[in-house]
Each structure stands twice: as C-alpha cells, then as structure tokens.
Amino acid sequence: MATHFAALIIVIPLIAALFVPVIGWWKKGLCYPWVVAVLLVPLISSIGVLNRVIESGPFSYYLGGWAPPWGIEYAIDYLNAFVLVIISVISLIVSIYSKKSVEKEIPEKVVPFYTLFLLLVTGLLGIVVTGDLFNVFVFLEIASLSCYALIAIGRDGAPLATFRYIIMGTIGASFYLLGVGYLYIITGSLNMLDVARLLPELYHSRVVLTAGIFMIVGIGLKMALYPLHAWAPNAYADAPSTVSGLIAPLMTKVAAYMMIRVMFTVFKPVFFIEVIPVTSILTWMAAVAIIIGSIYAIAQTDLKKMLSYSVVAQIGYIALGIGLANKSGLTGAVLHILNEAFTKGCVFLVAGAIVYKMGACNINEFKDLYRKMPFTMSAFLIGAFSMVGIPPTCGFFSKIYLIMGAISADKWIFVAVLLFSSVLNVVYFFRVIQIATFETPMPDYGRDKAYEAVYMDEVPLSMLIPIQIMAAGILLSGIFSSKIISTVIQFVIPVGF
Amino acid sequence: MLEYIISKYNFWVYVILLLIGLYAMVGKKNLVKKLIGMNIFQSAVILFYVSIGVKKGGATVPIFLGNAHAAHGHGHAIIDVASYINPLPHVLMLTAIVVSIATTGVALAVLILIFRRYKTLELDEIMKIRKETGV
C-alpha cells in the first residue's frame, strides 16, 4: 500500500469523482461527506510520500510498471512532495468549508459542483506529482476545464470572465504544448529527468531556445504573471466563494511550481540565466506585477476583487524569488507558495463567510463587522498581517528571504519594491479593518436616539472551523518556518546556487 | 529562399494557422469568432505534432506484420525503426484532440450562458450593457 502512495494521490480522487453523480442521484446530501472522506486519501498519501522523501530521499514510481522513458514516471522529490501536501491540506479544508456556502449560493448545482471539485483537485495534484512533460499538459487541462466550469456557475458576470479565462488559458496550455513538442523533436523523450539529461549538450540549438520560451510564456499565462494576468481578477472574483477559496490559493501556485520545475529541473539553471536571460526579465516583470497588482487592489471596493488583484501581486513575489535565482530567493519563493496557500485560502474563505452572511462583499458596507463576526474577522486580521509581513506570520519569513535574496543578488531596487509593496498591502488591508472595526458612531452624549444594538451573528461552525484552521496554518507555518526550510526547502535548491 | 520554405513547409503551415487563430482570438469582437480562432489555434498545434512524426525515405505506418513473439522482445525479427513513421506524436495528439473538443464544449456552454444574460455575443455590446448596469 505504502509503495503505491504516489499513484493513489491521483487515482482515488479521479475514480471517486465519477461516483459523485451516482451518489448524488441516490441521495444529494451524501455528496459532501463523500468528498471530504475521499480527500483524506490524498492527504494521507501525500504526507506518506513527504515522509518517505525526508527519510530516504527522492524516489520514482513507475505507473503501470512501465520503465521510463517509455512509461509515465512519477518522480517525487522534495519540491513535489512539499507542494502535494500543501494542495491536499488546502483542498481538504476548503471541502469541509464548502457545505453551507454551496447550499446557499448554488443550491441546485450541488452534485456537479462536487464532481468538478474532485476533478479540479485531481488535476492540481497530477500536475505536481507527474514526471512526464506531456502528462503535465493533460493534468493541466483536467484542472483548467473543471476550473472553467466551476467559475462559470458564479455570480453575475462570471460567464464572461470564464470565457476570457478559457481563451487565455487555452493559449497558455497550447504554448506549453508547443514547447514540449520542440523538446520532443530534439531529444525524442518526454520524461523530465531524461530530457534534463539529454539537453545540456544542445543548449545552443535554436530549437531548445524556442521550446524554452514557449514553455515559460505558456506557464506565465497560467500563472497570471503580469502582463499576462488580465483573466485572473475577474475570474477569481466572480466565482462562487468556495471555488475562489480553492483556486486562488492553489491554481496559480501550481503554475508557479511548474515554472520552478521547468526552469530548474527540465532545463538546468544555467540555461535561463546565461544562455537566454529569462530570469532577469522575470524579475522586472515580477516587480511591476507587485506594484501594479497592489495599486489595483487599493482601487477596488469589492473585497473579493481586491483579494484577486492581491493574488496578481503575490504571484509577483514568487516570480521574483524564482527570477533572482539564488539560494535565499528561491527559498523565499517556495516558502511563499506555502504562505500564499494558507493566507489566500484564509482571506478568501473569510470573504465567502461575509458573502454568506451579507449577500455581497462591498467593503463600504462592512460597518460593525468585527462585532457581528468577531472570530471570522480575527482570522482575516491574521491573514492581513501575513500579507503585510508582520511576525510571527509566515508572510514575514518568506518576505525576509526574498529581501535577502535580492540583497545577495545585489539588486537593491527589488528590496525597495518589496518594502514598498508591504506599505501598499497595509493600505488596502487596513482600510477593510478600519471600516469593519472603527466605523461606529462615537459616543455622542447630546443625542436623542438610542444606540443601534449590534448582535453577534457568526457563520455556522462548519465554515468557522476551516477558517480558523487556515489562520492557525498561517501562524504555525511562520513559527516553524526555520524547521520547514531545514527539513524540506533547502533540498529544493538546485546544485550550483 | 523558396526552397528553404518548401523544405520546411509543415512548420510554415502550422505557424500561419497559429497566427490566424491568434489574430481571431485577440482581434475579433464576436465571441463565437474568438472561439473558432481558438479551435484553429489548437488545430495548428495538433498538425505540428502530427507532422513531426513523419520520416523521409518511404517510411510507412507502423503496422506490425511479424510474429507475435517479436513484440515481446524475444523474437528474432528486429524492427527497423527507419522504415516506420513515429507513432508517438500521433498518440499524444489523440489526447490533445479530446482536450480541445472538451474545451470547445465548455466554451460553447459558457457562450449560451452569456447569450441568455446579455442577449448578444458581440463583445462591445456586452461591455456597453455591463457599463450601463454598473457591474
């Protein structure tokens, strides 16, 4: 059993997804416990996989017993296993949260929702677990297709946002596929490790150059990296709350994982640093993404839209860490994937809770929210702290590593960008907190009317507990960040950094 | 120059199709035309893959004619790779075709939703409606 953990991560949710319509046809209410129970399997398996990697180093799993490079190989190393655990934890938490929110927002579409939910998680896990370039494309499209459908059932305007996402997402996936095609022409292999072994002698071939560029642009589109981000804010904001709670923390981060994989495993770091200077372009695009994303976030009055622009900004941090291409920078980028998963999960679930109670999430109507929903909003506060980078939240540590990376790369402008973006984050998060906390009538002794009574009106426990777990995750991953780095992330850094 | 183009004509065909598709996706205002552009774009990639499996010099489709044991590796008939075209890209494209059809299906469903909501599929008219309703 334990030897097949790597395959179980994919197979169980995929098969279980097919059973959801059957179960839903029999009893609609059983879909939810089924999905939660099924998502425990990837969680246990991915923790088992991470354990094995920590104990005995990276290993391979041959799907169906076919040896690479002919068969599909699941090559598990520290980076894979780490991201797998993140995905399975977040998706389990969101699935627990989903019950009340889905019943209220999309009551007639519960069964398709849970089917697509499982397929989306399968796709995301598959992208990460596989060691085959074409297999990545297949899982990428499984994830994207279920993601399109999930976004389209959202609030008014969602179909248009989805259509835009379909167009952009397809361009991204096709570019990635073209890149893989060129790599196949020149190496005759699709296995990542095999391609990585064959490529270094061919680095000065124009075919390899084309392949590299196509793949990076394609992944950049999927990653919503500025200036290829146009689809992201509307798609994330208009999706049903549970869906934005799942895709905002995971979708773009999985693409960021793909970028690390392509840049540092399939191609050796030397290719993108010296042969073509992609990394330096990436850092500049990331810097612009951070600033522009934050400024757009300030301009929004809708909480979910504000958070979506914040996703664009935060993807910039990860891209900056990748682009700096040194030890601290990449450590910061990988830690920021963890941080973003918990932080964005937390704040988007809070936004979902607010939508659940108020029907919308216009920031200007947040008056007295801290008194109505004290537990939810305190989780939001922790998320905001992490976004700004206040210790001991994880955001502080990932940012400090990114800043150290920028310093050791001697690029002081990015240090300034990172610090300035913290200030911008303060502006847009503390505006929400200010309205929700302090916008109460000051004691006015000369007035006639009685105070308006504000009663506590919390969301149900099945929504509150996942939010609190996310908030706890932000704090714990911050407190234990040095342990996470010393046991996992330091082994992610490729040789030569 | 002409010879150079002709010798690599499969790449030229795919690049031209790719650009037509890209133009339709970016430049057209009608959402259905955008979708058709997307289809052309995906077909270009599929044609590209199919064309790279071809080998020159009379290679044919890889139909196995020898005895069954050879397929398992302990027969005596050694297959000459040069006389068969590479089937792997074609097999990969079966998956890609399925993906592209699924994408088209989802996109068409989304277009129906858009049409029900706005009663039009012209992007600029939709934008006008959205601006008027203040969304």
pLDDT for position A431: 86
Residue B80 three-state SS: coil
Domain count, chain B: 1
At B79, the pLDDT band (50, 70, 90 cuts) reads low
pLDDT of residue A336: 92
Are A181 and B130 inside 8 Å of each other by CB? no
B66 inside domain: no
pLDDT of residue B135: 58
Q: What is the pLDDT of residue B3?
A: 84
Separation CA B120–CA A320 (nearest Å): 41
Q: Is the dihedral of CA A137, A139, A145, A148 positive or negative?
A: negative
Does B77 score more than 60 pLDDT?
no
Q: Exposed, middle or buried by CB within 10 Å (0-12, 13-18, 19+), for A41?
A: middle
B79 found inside a domain: no
Cβ-defined contact of A162 to B110 (cutoff 8 Å): yes
The reported pLDDT for the residue numbered A289 is 92
Q: Does residue B127 form part of some domain?
A: yes
Residue A446 is predicted with a pLDDT of: 61
- What is the per-residue pLDDT across A161-209, written as a single tens digit (0 to 9) for each? 999 999 999 999 999 999 999 999 888 888 888 888 888 888 888 889 8
Chain A residues touching residue B107 (CB < 8 angstroms): 148, 163, 166
Chain A residue whose CA is closest to B54 = A185
Within 10 angstroms of residue A487's Cβ, the number of other Cβ atoms is 15
Note whether residue B63 is domain-resident.
Answer: no
Q: Which residues of A touch B32 (CB under 8 A)?
A: none
SS (H, E, C) chain A: CHHHHHHHHHHHHHHHHHHHHHHHHHCHHHHHHHHHHHHHHHHHHHHHHHHHHHHHCCEEEEHHHCCCCCCCEEEECHHHHHHHHHHHHHHHHHHHHHHHHHHHHCHHHHHHHHHHHHHHHHHHHHHHHCCEHHHHHHHHHHHHHHHHHHHHCCCCCHHHHHHHHHHHHHHHHHHHHHHHHHHHHHHCCCEHHHHHHHHHHHCCCHHHHHHHHHHHHHHHHHHCCCCCCCCHHHHHHHCCHHHHHHHHHHHHHHHHHHHHHHHHHHCCHHHHHHHCCHHHHHHHHHHHHHHHHHHHHHHCCEHHHHHHHHHHHHHHHHHHHHHHCCHHHHHHHHHHHHHHHHHHHHHHHHHHHHHHHHCCCEHHHCCCHHHHCHHHHHHHHHHHHHHHCCCCCHHHHHHHHHHHHHHHCCCHHHHHHHHHHHHHHHHHHHHHHHHHHHCCCCCCCCCCCCCCCCCCCCCCHHHHHHHHHHHHHHHHHHHCHHHHHHHCHHHCCCCCC
Specify the pLDDT at position A410.
Answer: 87
Q: Examine the pLDDT at B70 and tell me if it is beyond 50.
A: no
Tokens for A12, please give them: 């169980």
Q: Give residue A325's pLDDT.
A: 84
Q: Which of chain B's residues have a Cβ under 8 Å away from the Cβ of A145? A: 99, 102-103, 106
Domain span at residue B97 reads 2-58+88-133
B-chain residues near A161 (CB < 8 A)? none
- Average pLDDT of each block of 10 consecutive residues along chain A (497 residues)? 80 92 89 92 92 88 81 88 93 92 86 92 93 92 93 88 93 94 90 88 87 92 88 89 90 92 88 83 92 91 91 92 89 92 92 87 81 88 90 89 91 91 89 79 59 74 91 92 87 78
Mutate which of A132, A137, A166, A187 to test chain B, going by most B C-beta atoms within 10 A? Answer: A166
Closest partner CB to B42 (pick from A149, A152, A174): A174
Residue whose tokens read 């990449």: A330
- Eight-class DSSP state of B87: -
Domain boundaries defined on chain A = 283-442+451-497
Measured between CA atoms, the residue of chain B closest to residue A301 is B135
Residues A126, A145 contacting (CB under 8 angstroms): no
Query: What is the three-class DSSP state of B89?
Result: helix
Q: Which of B92, B96, B114 has its CB closest to that of A163?
A: B114
d(CA A261, CA A133): 10
CB contact under 8 A, A145 and B111: no
Q: What is the pTM of this model?
A: 0.91
Nearest to A113 by CA among A126, A98, A92: A98
CATH number at residue B22: 1.10.287.3510
> What are B25-65's pLDDT values in tens digits?
989 999 999 999 999 999 999 999 998 888 777 777 766 65
- Residue with tokens 């909003």, as numbered in its chain: A377
**Angstrom distance (rounded) from CA A243 to CA A211:** 33
Provide, as residue numbers in chain B, all residues whose Cβ is less than 8 Å from the Cβ of A138: 95, 99
**Structure-block tokens of residue A178:** 């073209």
Put simply, the answer to whether A170 touches B38 (Cβ < 8 Å) is yes
